[in-house]
Amino acid sequence: MRTIKWNSDLSVGIDEIDEDHQKLIKYLNDLFAACFAGQGPAVLKDTLHLVQLYTRQHFSHEEDVMRASGFPGLEEHRVQHAELVSELDDLIDEFEAGGDMDLSYKTMQFLEDWLLHHILIEDKKLGKYIGAIH
């Protein structure tokens, strides 16, 4: 079974954001486990909705941190967040319309790729910025 393991490379250097990312990784790992165990569409749907809800909460929190620190990349980052939420909403709609396991795997791969790229590239910019102003 695949899992994402938290490690120091994923840290952005902001404890509250790192904690959010660890929770998001836990929810994604729960989704991977549900899919791998063949727990069925109802469990996958519920887990996807949990990922969706927490993703929205995390993005709001992260944007608040950016705003409070005067992070110059806020608007670009907000656009990336909005794009992910839109893509996630579309994947969930497709799954609810009768998606199969292939869609579940597609969703998991998309979420894993996006999250890791976003943390390692985009969120690290915020960590460097806040580290530089403190």
Q: How many domains does the chain have?
A: 1
Which pLDDT score, from 0 to 100, does residue 25 have? 92
The rounded percent of the chain whose pLDDT value lies above 90 is 47
DSSP 118: I
9 within domain boundaries: no
7 within domain boundaries: no
6 within domain boundaries: no
User: Domain of 27?
Assistant: 14-133
CATH number of the CATH domain containing 127? 1.20.120.50
5 within domain boundaries: no
Q: How far is CA 100 from the centre of its chain?
A: 22
3 within domain boundaries: no
Contacts of 6 (CB under 8 A, 6+ apart): 21, 22, 25
104 within domain boundaries: yes
**Residuewise pLDDT in 10s, the chain (134 residues):** 678 999 999 999 999 999 999 999 998 888 888 878 877 677 777 888 888 899 999 999 999 999 999 999 999 999 999 999 998 888 888 878 876 666 667 777 888 888 888 898 999 999 999 988 87
Which pLDDT score, from 0 to 100, does residue 109 have? 82
Which pLDDT score, from 0 to 100, does residue 78 have? 96
124 within domain boundaries: yes
CA dihedral of 8, 12, 14, 17, whole degrees rounded to 10: -100
CA gap 54, 30 in Å, rounded:
13
CA gap 100, 25 in Å, rounded:
23
Q: How far is CA 43 from the centre of its chain?
A: 19
CA gap 52, 126 in Å, rounded:
22
Q: What is the reported pTM?
A: 0.87
CA gap 132, 118 in Å, rounded:
20
